[in-house]
């Protein structure tokens, strides 16, 4: 398939830079088969049934964006240069892989100072990734990072405004638990506790899995032939309890509906022959039209970037032509797009 098949024109004013308030007031496009309805997230109570199970990603976003300084040599002596770092993931050797700007100017052994408590030594680079060794570890590192770091907002929001204190709560799900993501599972940002409680009261169940969303989720697809694209890898875990809960719902005829593409990619990675198993590791599953879904019966998800791997995923679920209809309706109806935007629930 060609990349152009997943392209569309999006007016710039439909890119959300702040979430809806309250969270559940966001619009919800309900696409069930050939029907399309305009609702709100609060109306999920009218869409879901007793016996359905929502699969929720409990990853916690870390404040991975850091601004610091380094000492550089100049013709007139040492000078101070600003540096920007976005942490990607911890390495087995205790360093952190990171996006570093400007990467080409930093030398091995240089110290970068982020705050009075937090600093790092630049250990080297590989391709576009720099590697940093921090002066702190474990709880001390977490405390210093929380004080010095900012939420790593997606590039299309960061280009319009800097992250601020409000993003620390806005860009985190209410059930976030396991730290490690550098991007939020954004479909989950629409939930409030009262909605979870009411869904539970009507017989909807919840299963928690963990997939640490990486910065690779924002990487553009640069090949014309989609099959040539190399997918980024992200660490995830499906516990034995989670797998058993999902299979119990399947056995009882309920629908398994992941909230977000991260949860969907994870449960499909852990499945084979229509059965999901306990699983832990890195997944680079790439779901494109023609994929046979093993576990997911639907998907709750925000609206995605043109030409992205996530556009390909939703096209695989609903069909390329149907997704074009859905996105055309969303644009005409002024739905807000991307991470802080409105939501949809896709039920093929």
Whether 84 shows a pLDDT value over 90: the answer reads yes
Tell me whether residue 332 is exposed, middle or buried, using C-beta atoms within 10 angstroms of its C-beta: 0 to 12, 13 to 18, 19 or more.
exposed
Nearest to 215 by CA among 61, 15, 55: 61
- Amino acid 137: pLDDT: 92
Nearest to 187 by CA among 282, 320, 300: 300
- Amino acid 79: pLDDT: 78
Using DSSP, state whether 254 is helix, strand or coil: coil
Strands (E), 197-270: 205-211, 234-238, 256-258
Given strand 299-302, what is the order of strands in its sheet? 35-40, 27-32, 343-347, 299-302
Give the dihedral sign, CA 163/168/330/297: positive
What value does the mean pLDDT of the chain take? 95
How far is Cα 65 from Cα 63, in angstroms, rounded to an integer? 6
92 φψ region: left (φ > 0), alpha (ψ -120 to 50), beta (else): alpha
- Amino acid 337: pLDDT: 98
Using DSSP, state whether 212 is helix, strand or coil: coil
Count Cα neighbours of 304 within 13 Å in the Cβ-side half-sphere: 25
List the structure tokens of 148.
């010095």
58 and 176 Cβ atoms separated by less than 8 Å: yes
Instruction: For the chain, give every domain's residue range.
Output: 3-61+168-347, 65-148
Quick check: bond before 37 cis, omega within 30? no
DSSP string, 57-109: E-EEE---EEEEEEEEEETTEEEEEEEEEEEEEE-TTS-EEEEEETGGG--TT
- Amino acid 76: pLDDT: 63
> Do the domains spanning 3-61+168-347 and 65-148 agree at the CATH topology level?
no
65-148 has which fold? Thrombin, subunit H (2.40.10)
Confidence tier at 238 by pLDDT (50, 70, 90): very high
pLDDT in tens, 40-83: 999 999 999 999 999 999 999 999 999 999 987 666 656 789 99
Confidence tier at 257 by pLDDT (50, 70, 90): very high
Using DSSP, state whether 157 is helix, strand or coil: helix
Using DSSP, state whether 119 is helix, strand or coil: strand
* Choice among 47-51, 69-73, 223-227, 247-251 with the minimum mean pLDDT: 69-73
How far is Cα 342 from Cα 26, in angstroms, rounded to an integer? 5
Whether 204 shows a pLDDT value over 80: the answer reads yes
- Specify the pairing of strand 205-211 against strand 53-57: parallel
- Amino acid 74: pLDDT: 62
How far is Cα 246 from Cα 267, in angstroms, rounded to an integer? 9
Q: Which CATH number fits domain 3-61+168-347: 3.40.1780.10, 3.20.20.70, 1.20.1260.10, 3.30.450.20?
A: 3.40.1780.10
DSSP string, 263-292: HHHHHHHTEETTEE--EEEEE-----TT--
How far is Cα 277 from Cα 122, in angstroms, rounded to an integer? 40
């Amino acid at each position: 398939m060609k990349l152009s098949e997943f392209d569309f024109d999006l007016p710039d004013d439909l890119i959300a830079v702040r979430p809806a308030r309250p969270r559940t007031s966001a619009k919800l496009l309900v696409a069930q088969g050939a029907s399309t309805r305009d609702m709100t997230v609060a109306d999920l109570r009218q869409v879901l049934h007793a016996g359905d199970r929502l699969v929720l990603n409990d990853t916690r976003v870390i404040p991975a964006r850091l601004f610091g300084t380094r000492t550089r040599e100049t013709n007139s002596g040492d000078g101070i240069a600003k540096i920007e770092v976005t942490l990607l993931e911890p390495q087995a050797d205790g360093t952190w892989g990171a996006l570093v700007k400007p990467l080409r100017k930093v030398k091995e052994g240089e110290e970068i100072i982020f705050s009075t408590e937090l600093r790092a030594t630049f250990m080297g680079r590989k391709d576009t990734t720099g590697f940093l060794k921090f002066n702190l570890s474990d709880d001390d590192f977490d405390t210093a990072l929380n004080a010095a770091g900012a939420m790593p907002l997606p590039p299309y929001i960061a280009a319009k405004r800097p992250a601020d204190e409000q993003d620390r709560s806005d860009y985190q799900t209410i059930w976030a638990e396991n730290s490690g993501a550098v991007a939020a599972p954004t479909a989950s940002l629409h939930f409030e506790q009262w909605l979870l409680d009411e869904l539970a009261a009507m017989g909807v169940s919840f299963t928690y899995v963990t997939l640490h969303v990486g910065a690779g989720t924002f990487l553009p697809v640069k090949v014309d032939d989609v099959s040539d694209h190399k997918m980024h890898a992200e660490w995830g875990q499906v516990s034995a309890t989670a797998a058993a809960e999902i299979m119990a719902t399947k056995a009882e005829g309920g629908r398994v509906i992941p909230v977000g593409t991260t949860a969907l990619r994870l449960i499909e990675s852990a499945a084979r022959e229509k059965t999901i198993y306990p699983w832990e590791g890195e997944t680079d599953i790439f779901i494109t039209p023609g994929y046979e879904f093993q576990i997911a019966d639907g998907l709750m998800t925000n609206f995605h970037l043109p030409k992205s791997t996530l556009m390909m995923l939703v096209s695989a679920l609903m069909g390329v032509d149907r997704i074009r209809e859905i996105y055309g309706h969303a644009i005409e109806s002024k739905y807000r797009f991307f991470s802080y935007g409105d939501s949809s629930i896709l039920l093929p």
